Structure 1
Amino acid sequence: MSTNSPPARRRSAARTLLRLWPYVRPVRARWFAAAAIAVVASCLGLVIPLVLKWMVDGPVAARDPAGVWLGALYLLLIGVAEALLFGIRRWLVARPLAGVEAGMRADLYRRLQRLPVAFHDRWPSGQLLSRGTGDLMLVRMFLAFPLTFLLVNGVTIVVGVGIMLVQDWVLGLVVLGPAVPLLWVCVVVEQRYAHAARRAQDQVGDLTTLVEESVLGIRVVKGFGRHLSQARAFRRTALMLRDTELGKARLLAVIWAVIVALPEVAIGAALVLGVLRVADGALSAGTLVAFLSTALALRWPVESIGFLLAMCQEAATATERYFEVLDERPEGEAETRTPAAPEPGERGLRFEGVGFRHADAAPDARPVLDGVDLHIRPGESMALVGATGSGKTTLTSLVPRLHDATSGRITLNGVDITALPREELRARVAVAFEEPTLFSTSVAENVLMGAGENAGREELDRALAVAHADFAHALPEGPDTRVGEQGLSLSGGQRQRLALARAVAGRPEFLVLDDPLSALDVHTEAAVEAALRRVLADTTALIVAHRPSTVLLADRVALLSGGRITAVGTHHELLRTNAEYAHLMSGGPREAPEEPEDSR
């Protein structure tokens, strides 16, 4: 998936940000209290011009030093009170908003775990990572600062304008003159800024994906000497992000220049007019000082509107990106299950007219699977053989519902798998994939992931023995040794054996193995096969196989060709009766069957 573009019908920033309310609701009391305190603190600052008016028209005009010192004391107390109130505001919101961010991140992670494999096939991991880190940081900053201060500054501006109009309505109208052009500039620039912010955040996701892939694939990069091409790709993406950020900076420069310049011109005009009126005796000097002090006190609330609105737009796009993931339908949602009652006489694993096509396949493309019929009897092992790209991995992924069949049905002991809760289904079906994925935890934790919550050392030792993974006991800390990210500190064969141990650790009723021995040497493969035969004696298994030695583990063999099961029999029967199967097992030249274009 490339950079995600905004939806065709984009919500307004306000409507998007309102979706944060369920997360803010639990801490609303502290947030509203903090906002109210900030409003009081900001409005306290507007009392200072009134004190100055009293001092100029009173003690200063009367040459009363005691009155001047009293006015200075008032100003000091107001300043201290303002500082204390802003400190209290910060204390009130820091912990709750950190909790909001943590809760949103936990919800995002839970949703990612529940989303179907098809979703993860489409979305780069860097895009998802950027949503869980940078985007949520922007949301927390919005709740802590721009949201509060848009309210605080708005109230401050209204109160300050009221004070100025009371002081002198003529000068007040002069200062209010730029309001209309300011609003127009804000609306126009912020719309453009919203698109630039979305583009920048998507490009951050692309950059994160590139870095992650380069780090995880560092052996390939170094092995093929591709560090320069990777650096060039990184530079291109980084330059695109730089250009977008510079575009954002230019937009902010425009709005900042207008927001600063127009009020300055208005204040200058009010100063000239005010001095003339003081000279004419129509206005007191104290009133002019109070008016200009109030106008200057409002400079920051007015000037900050530009970047506060910019931060709001960035938070809105971050929120939009966050909910793009949460709005995806997770596995099992909106499913209507029929009672999971087994059909009489049906046992084992059965595929009935099973078809599958990828959701993004062209309408005229052939499906990957088309009318697959296969029955694996209880306790039987079935090897699945076919040419590369014939859909073997896709067929095995349908059993634990990593993907859902688009037609037909699959039953376990007569029960349609769509009628089973996914948790129950995956407790009954264990899977070992061709590409073994290990987590950066210990060997024991990786293996026991396939067993129950209460599994212990006995289950671990048994699983390691079955997979002939006794090398785990020779590691520095034995099975408690951490294997590192993706288990890359181990060899391919070791990782594959641990993945096989994980599959058999829970003594599953049904076992699906996708070419589980491909990375093993001949001697290790023979030892693993010997142990697997004992496991398979009590398990119903479907095994994707490419080598005769793996095929011989199974009781029967099914040949998958052209999206259908074209032959079923023992290994020796198919060698005698099926030319395609004989070619596959011999590894000789053959005419490959026509493959569907979207098979994966």
Structure 2
Amino acid sequence: MPRIYLGMVSALIAALVALLIPQVLRALVDGPLQDGDSSQIWWPVAAVLGLGVLEAVMIWFRRWFVLQPGTHVEADLRNSLYKQLQDLPVNFHDRWASGQLLSRAVSDLNLVRRWISFGIVLLVVNTITILIGFVFLLSISWILGVVFVLCSIPLWIYGYLFEQKYSVVARRSQDQAGDLATAVEESVHGIRVLKAFGRGPHALKNFASQAEDLRGTEIEKAKAIAGIWLWLLMVPDVTFGLCLLGGVWLAAADQISVGQLVAFFATATVLRFPVESIGFLLSMTFDTRTAADRFFEVMDAKNTIVDPEHPKTIAKPEGRLVFDDVHFRYSDSPSQYDDLLDGIDLELEPGETMAVVGLTGSGKSTLTALTTRLYDVTGGAIRLDGVDIRDLGRLDLRTHIAMAFEDATLFSASVRDNVMLGRPEGSDADLAEALDIAQADFVYDLPFGIDTKVGEEGLSLSGGQRQRLALARAVAARPEVLVLDDPLSALDVDTEALVEAALRRVLASTTALIVAHRPSTVMLADRVALLERGRIAAVGRHSELLESSDHYRFVISSLEDEEKREAQEVTA
């Protein structure tokens, strides 16, 4: 911040130097020019030249001083925002559109940088310049100075009214810009779906409607700015006219000299830019205030999933995972609604593989998300080797438990970086082993092998390929507990069989919780938990549940029917 202050000082010196030039002109007109002594003209000319050069140098210093702080502040704020977004729980991201977050991270912080580097400096300096300039005007001629001051009062009144209106419109504009960014992002990510269903024109119509709303808001902003510019241009011109009439009359009455009249109007001309600049500086300030409000909406968001004050550690992790009367309800669910998970009691012994089956909506994926505190339980507890997972540091917990999701997300990075995301210090042998278990040997045939960049969200790969890399990522982390949320759904039957055979080697020594959507996946498990309406209806071996549970037979039958449909689609 010292550089900002130095920039203000430099700008203020430049403004004061500009205000001194009219005083030199006053001495020139009332002295050598009035006396007709040409030999005395050179020193005022030299003084004006020197003051002009000094003003230019100070303006250069102002720009040089303020350039770096703004960029540093912008970078620090952007890093802080990104860190906050990484730290906030998943339920925050469930509520916020990605375009809104993107607009805050880019355009809003760009406004803050411009205001720090330009707006705040000129707003402070120009305000001081106007006040000092008024003093100069009053000292030259108090009558003309009072006229000038009185004529400026409408500007301050309109400026206040402008703030009341513009702040609301500016906020609406920035929110609409965030919504538009969201629409673009969704269309780009869903371009295959839009093309496949011929819905491009429909998406364009919706986008055009949003863009038209934003255009209307921007026009409203422009009208507000045009209104204040009307006053900023009209009032000084009217003031100049009145002062000119008064000045000529006063000079004719010998109440002021010609030199004073020249100095007055030269000073008023110097003040013209500071006065006119108030308009765009105010609009910039209000835009920045809105941008700052939007930024702090994210920064002030409450993080409900945090590390404990005194985290515990697990000295000898074994992988015993226990669900003890676990309840869960999303934070925005009405209180009269039942819990999505309602008293889950389940125990996985070290090295045991537990499959979770149930109809759609029974809570299977939610159950797996609780294990790594993507969400926190709203009742009961989940314990890892006897320690409540809320008593562990989040990073520590997520080294013990790794997840592979049905919706496999990859990053714009190499295959190596994607697979070794959870264990970047792993060796090439670890990478090769994980790829082999996930049957992801196809990566060696990519243009640059494991160093091939897979592209944004891995969309250059097929769904099955993405799932295999996501599974390899979970395996490569070498956790004590492996949580698999139907990670094989996009694989064909033959590839799935190979993956399951390889997984058996990993699952022999790793505790695993697997959400199963196929009967073949159930076969991997030592035991099966049947989830029905948020509760564990039965736990046992596959053969035992087939004999004892009607609902289990119905669920397995549904899975078999779905598997047959998938096989028929592949054959067709």
Shorter-chain TM-score bucket reads over 0.9
Gap change, CA 1:338 and 1:100, over 3 Å in 2: closer
Residue of structure 2 in register with 1:438 after alignment:
410
Residue of structure 2 in register with 1:271 after alignment:
244
Gap change, CA 1:334 and 1:473, over 3 Å in 2: closer
Residue of structure 2 in register with 1:404 after alignment:
376
Residue 229 in structure 1 maps to residue 202 in structure 2:
yes
**TM-score, with structure 1 as normaliser:** 0.91
1:146 to 95, 119, 134: 119
SS in 1 for 2:530: strand
Tell me by how many angstroms 1:64 deviates.
Answer: 2.5
Comparing 176-185 with 265-274, greater Cα deviation is found at: 176-185
1:317 to 257, 282, 290: 290
Letter in 1 for 2:141: D
Contact map agreement 1:513 1:544 (CA 8 A) in 2: yes
CA distance in 1, matches of 2:251, 2:41: 22
Query: In the comparison of the two structures, how many residue pairs are matched?
Result: 561
Letter in 2 for 1:37: S
Residue of structure 1 in register with 2:549 after alignment:
578
Residue 186 in structure 1 maps to residue 159 in structure 2:
yes
Residue 419 in structure 1 maps to residue 414 in structure 2:
no
Tell me by how many angstroms 1:71 deviates.
Answer: 2.5
Contact map agreement 2:314 2:385 (CA 8 A) in 1: no
Tell me by how many angstroms 1:297 deviates.
Answer: 1.4
Tell me by how many angstroms 1:179 deviates.
Answer: 3.3
CA distance in 2, matches of 1:340, 1:51: 77
Tell me by how many angstroms 1:110 deviates.
Answer: 0.9
Q: How does 1:95-494 map to 2 (within 5 A)?
A: 95-330=68-303, 332-333=305-306, 335=308, 348-451=320-423, 453-494=424-465
**TM-score, with structure 2 as normaliser:** 0.95
1:51 to 6, 14, 24: 24
Residue 497 in structure 1 maps to residue 468 in structure 2:
yes
Contact map agreement 2:307 2:393 (CA 8 A) in 1: no
Tell me by how many angstroms 1:289 deviates.
Answer: 0.9
Contact map agreement 1:583 1:589 (CA 8 A) in 2: no
Comparing 254-263 with 125-134, greater Cα deviation is found at: 254-263
SS in 1 for 2:422: coil
Tell me by how many angstroms 1:263 deviates.
Answer: 2.6
SS in 2 for 1:245: helix
Residue 506 in structure 1 maps to residue 477 in structure 2:
yes
Gap change, CA 1:378 and 1:129, over 3 Å in 2: same
Tell me by how many angstroms 1:60 deviates.
Answer: 1.4
Gap change, CA 1:266 and 1:508, over 3 Å in 2: same
Stretches of structure 2 lacking an aligned partner (at least 5 in a row): 562-572
Residue of structure 2 in register with 1:517 after alignment:
488
Task: Tell me the C-alpha RMSD between the 2 structures.
Answer: 1.8
1:391-426 superposed Cα distances (whole Å, 9 cap, x missing partner): 100000000000000001000111111111111100
1:457-516 superposed Cα distances (whole Å, 9 cap, x missing partner): 011000001101111111111111111111111111110000000001022100100011
CA distance in 2, matches of 1:307, 1:114: 37
Residue of structure 1 in register with 2:37 after alignment:
64
SS in 2 for 1:553: coil
1:126-147 superposed Cα distances (whole Å, 9 cap, x missing partner): 1111111000110000001110
Tell me by how many angstroms 1:73 deviates.
Answer: 2.5
CA distance in 2, matches of 1:583, 1:589: 10
Letter in 1 for 2:359: A
CA distance in 2, matches of 1:51, 1:129: 53
Gap change, CA 1:437 and 1:373, over 3 Å in 2: same
1:208-257 superposed Cα distances (whole Å, 9 cap, x missing partner): 11111111111111111111111111111111111111111111111111
CA distance in 2, matches of 1:442, 1:347: 31
Letter in 2 for 1:327: D
CA distance in 2, matches of 1:338, 1:186: 54
Letter in 2 for 1:164: L
1:556 to 518, 527, 532: 527
Residue of structure 2 in register with 1:13 after alignment:
none
Gap change, CA 1:115 and 1:482, over 3 Å in 2: same
SS in 2 for 1:523: helix
CA distance in 2, matches of 1:122, 1:347: 33
SS in 2 for 1:354: strand
Tell me by how many angstroms 1:337 deviates.
Answer: 5.4
Tell me by how many angstroms 1:315 deviates.
Answer: 0.6
Letter in 2 for 1:153: N
Residue 545 in structure 1 maps to residue 516 in structure 2:
yes
Contact map agreement 1:44 1:82 (CA 8 A) in 2: yes
